[in-house]
Amino acid sequence: MDISNKVFSFGQLTSSDLILDANYEGGSQKNAGDDPISKLMGCGNQGGFRYKGSLTEGNIELCVLYSELSDPDWPDTLDSESGIFTYFGDNKKPGYRLSDTKKKGNLILEHAFSSLHMGKRDLIPPFFVFTKGAKGRDVIFRGLAIPGAKAMNQGNDLIALWKTKNGQRFQNYRASFTILNAGCIPRAWIRDLWMRDPLSGNAPIQWKNWRNTGEYNPLLAPKAKRYRTKTEQLPSTELEDKILKSVVSYFKSHQDREYAFQKCAAELARLMDSNIIGYDLSRYWRDGGRDAVGKYRIGTEDTSITVDFALEAKCKGKDSGSGVKETSRLISRLLYRQFGLFVTTSYVAEQTYKEIVEDLHPVIIITGRDVANILIRAGYNTEDSVHQWLEVSFPSRDKNG
């Protein structure tokens, strides 16, 4: 059966299998009954955490994690290449304790991850990940998930984070799940879960193996195309566009525009990857085609090596791209044990991007959309917060001052 771009109508939901990346349509009555997840899974019809069973009795048969992947304060992400789903809990406003939430989602996370750490996997329900579909109440099935990951220790898989909102501090969880390598979940197993028989003959073998052995078998989906079109490099949402415009407009009026944006580009790289441990900016009179050189640490504090990298930065409007001339300046100066970062607030011409990828140049391309998302994930998700970060980090000064 061809399952590419598979769409299930609302009337089919009570008998449908769960097929990876298939779209499940919502109803047309314009009320809560249009929700497709409740029809598919037999759980609640609202919220990010939806479960079937009794939380107070410790008998949760299954749990759904739903995300629109669009909350700038709590940016849930699905990394299809590693199979890791990062999901934030449901304490998203001040005035409540970490686990004192209406849907008890954070309690579910606490129970699942504490059971994982104690080796009591039999107490952990299967998690089903859904994200917003193309229209209305439609949803897309993203996979069968389990808490934790193969290469992640207990100190990193569930983390309580502090956040400040309206001058008040509060905590929420950031949880890491692994999407199992199971492309189709049979309807019969969903029914078995309702009957509290998670290890039935209909259960996916990947789920059984994990329950019995603790073995992680993630769904790894490397991208077939490693270069991006102009559209894919530029903001795709109104928030991304506003954040990027804030950056460009700030440096457009900066007295020290080029040099200041070099520093900004290097700081963006550090926000992207904490293993960047330092950098030195080029001087105006010594610019040799790279705006910064830095050190990237591989390993731990006690045992590590550092690898050199070079960085080139271009602050442009989103309609002004970079081509071969600009990227080749960076590539030509990469030495042994070096890689390059090309940071632009715009885009790299598609043919140039393609050639960099196909010629296997060790260059990471950070474009306008990436710049916006790096800032959003770092908590700078409003125009005011971005402007404040820019003013504090890169104050305007006279070149000769």
Reference 87, options 66, 108, 102, 104; nearest CA is 66
Does the pLDDT of residue 400 top 60, yes or no? no
Q: Do 291 and 382 lie in a common domain?
A: yes
What amino acid occupies position 289?
A: G
Q: What is the pLDDT of residues 188-246, one digit of tens each?
A: 999 999 999 999 999 999 999 999 999 999 999 887 777 899 999 999 999 999 999 99
Alpha helix positions (H), 151-237: 187-194, 205-213, 230-233
- The verdict on residue 225 lying in a domain is no
Which pLDDT band, with edges at 50, 70 and 90, does 396 fall under? confident
More confident residue, 225 or 69: 69
Q: Do 89 and 208 lie in a common domain?
A: yes
Does the pLDDT of residue 255 top 80, yes or no? no
- The verdict on residue 206 lying in a domain is yes
Does the pLDDT of residue 41 top 90, yes or no? yes
On the CB side of 286, CA atoms within 13 Å amount to 7
Please report the pLDDT score of residue 4 as a whole number: 46
Q: What tokens were used for 221? A: 């989906």
Residue 328's domain spans which residues?
Answer: 230-393
Between strands 127-132 and 84-88, the pairing is unpaired
Q: Which CATH number belongs to the domain containing residue 264 in this structure? A: 3.40.1350.10
- The verdict on residue 94 lying in a domain is yes
Q: Do 168 and 298 lie in a common domain?
A: no
Q: Of 171, 188, 213, which marks where a domain is finished? A: 213
Which pLDDT band, with edges at 50, 70 and 90, does 56 fall under? confident
Q: What is the pLDDT of residues 318-350, one digit of tens each?
A: 889 999 999 998 998 887 768 999 999 999 999
More confident residue, 280 or 184: 184
- With 0-12 CB in 10 A as exposed, 13-18 as middle and 19+ as buried, what is 72? middle
Number of domains in the chain: 2
* Alpha-carbon span 221 to 202, nearest angstrom: 25
Alpha helix positions (H), 214-337: 230-233, 238-252, 257-272, 324-331
Which pLDDT band, with edges at 50, 70 and 90, does 399 fall under? very low
Q: Do 41 and 188 lie in a common domain?
A: yes
Q: How many residues make up the chain in this entry? A: 401
Backbone angles phi and psi of 272, in degrees to 5: -70, -40
Q: CB–CB of 166/136 below 8 Å?
A: no
Please report the pLDDT score of residue 397 as a whole number: 64
Please report the pLDDT score of residue 87 as a whole number: 97
Please report the pLDDT score of residue 292 as a whole number: 87
Q: Do 295 and 194 lie in a common domain?
A: no
* Alpha-carbon span 344 to 386, nearest angstrom: 17
- The verdict on residue 355 lying in a domain is yes
Q: Do 174 and 234 lie in a common domain?
A: no
